[in-house]
Amino acid sequence: MRLLSKHIVGFDYLRAICCLMVVLHHSDGLRIFAFNETISQMFSVYYMNIGLLAVPIFFQVSLYLFYAKRQTQKDYFWKTSLPKLLLLYGFWTSLFMSVKLLIGDFSFYERFGTVANLLATIITAGESLFYFLFSLLLITGLADLSLKIKAQYQIPENRWRIYETLGLIISLIYVVWAAPFTLESQQQLWAVHSNPLNFIPYIFSSYFIFQAIDRFIQKKSYNLKKEINRVVIPLAVAAILCGAIEWQLLYRADFFADGLLPHYTRISSFFASTAIVYLVILLPLQPNNIITFLSRCSLGIYCFHKFLPNVLGIALDKVLTTLWGVGIQDNIPLMSSILCVNWILFSILLTVMFSKIKFLRRVL
């Protein structure tokens, strides 16, 4: 039994770890350690079952914090969340498409030529990482709307939990139902991994987590072991079982990687990320300076890293070629690992530098 603080140190750990997981995934930084087929398969399992949890965890952390703020500020979405998310989405998406235009990798027709293309561009943020911001904006708005409905009709909490449970079940059924259709048509907007509808279940799971933690805060105590046995272990078991079924049906990880099944339609990711978020909130974690620093840089790391060239890799290749006549540019596993380090270091550097500028601080 212990007192829960309203500041959740565990969220710093989640932000720090998950932003590094995203970079590791995008750079394929583990490839250098794939000495044989067995290890390579183990890394595939990591990428497809653990590495992909970063985005669902980000959603649940963001929604939890939204519910916490909205509890005391009923107009929090309109006054704070909406303006901030619109600014983040507009800034980073515009920057991404501007860079694409500058390097000649941009088609105005493909982006804006038809209503369908325009809609796809908005939802996927021009097929960039920043689809996360649009999806977060949409599901946060839906979360706010649901709470307004609850307040307007004065629905008792016990009954509201039933509605939330039904909403969760329906949204999970949609995810399961929609996923097979991706095998038929990769052009369908609802079939892509960045479809905001894939993230609707997190509206409900985050609400349940927030309500549980809020009750603990009011009681000023909770039983950690009991909550692990009651909630975390069943969720973890469900995640493992669903993950096993997903792998049995699809046989190999590259089935997911090739886009034949959108990553975030995987039910195992929902159960696993929910279990992790709930557990981390409950654990008596202590503040750590490095973790706190990485947490503050997490948005910058997420947003910056894909813009950056492999400066370290190119420089090291030049040095080795000049001194010993041996280059490393064709060593893809090594360059991938260097790219991972490069992205992390320079993303942090840019985040620290730009956070000193008033306007840019608002988008970091």
364 residues of the chain, pLDDT tens digit each: 444 556 899 999 999 999 999 999 999 999 899 888 888 888 888 888 899 899 999 999 999 999 999 999 999 999 999 999 999 999 999 999 999 999 888 888 788 888 888 888 999 999 899 999 999 999 999 999 999 999 999 999 999 999 999 999 999 988 877 665 555 554 455 556 778 888 999 999 999 999 999 888 888 778 899 999 999 999 999 999 998 888 776 554 444 445 456 678 889 999 999 999 999 999 999 999 999 999 999 999 999 999 999 999 999 999 999 989 888 988 999 999 999 999 999 999 999 999 999 889 999 9
Burial level of 142, CB count in 10 A (0-12/13-18/19+)?
A: middle
| Amino acid letter, 280 | V
Each residue's pLDDT tens digit, 49-65: 899 899 999 999 999 99
> What CA–CA distance (Å, rounded) separates 297 from 333?
27
Token pair for 147: 């709470």
Helix pair 131-152, 115-124: axis angle to 10 deg: 90
Burial level of 117, CB count in 10 A (0-12/13-18/19+)?
A: middle
Residue 46 CA neighbour count, 13 Å, CB half: 16
Token pair for 57: 């965890």
Each residue's pLDDT tens digit, 168-225: 999 998 887 766 555 555 445 555 677 888 899 999 999 999 999 988 888 877 889 9
Q: If we measure between CA atoms, which residue out of 263, 268, 261, 264 comes closest to residue 241?
A: 268
Cβ-based neighbours of 190, under 8 Å, separated by 6 or more: 178, 181, 197
The pLDDT score that the predictor gives to residue 82 is 98
Cα dist from 184 to 174, 181, 196, 239, 245, whole Å: 17, 5, 20, 26, 21
Burial level of 159, CB count in 10 A (0-12/13-18/19+)?
A: exposed
Which ranges in 283-331 belong to alpha helices (H)?
A: 289-304, 311-324
> What CA–CA distance (Å, rounded) separates 205 from 210?
9
Domain boundaries, the chain: 9-310
> What CA–CA distance (Å, rounded) separates 57 from 117?
29
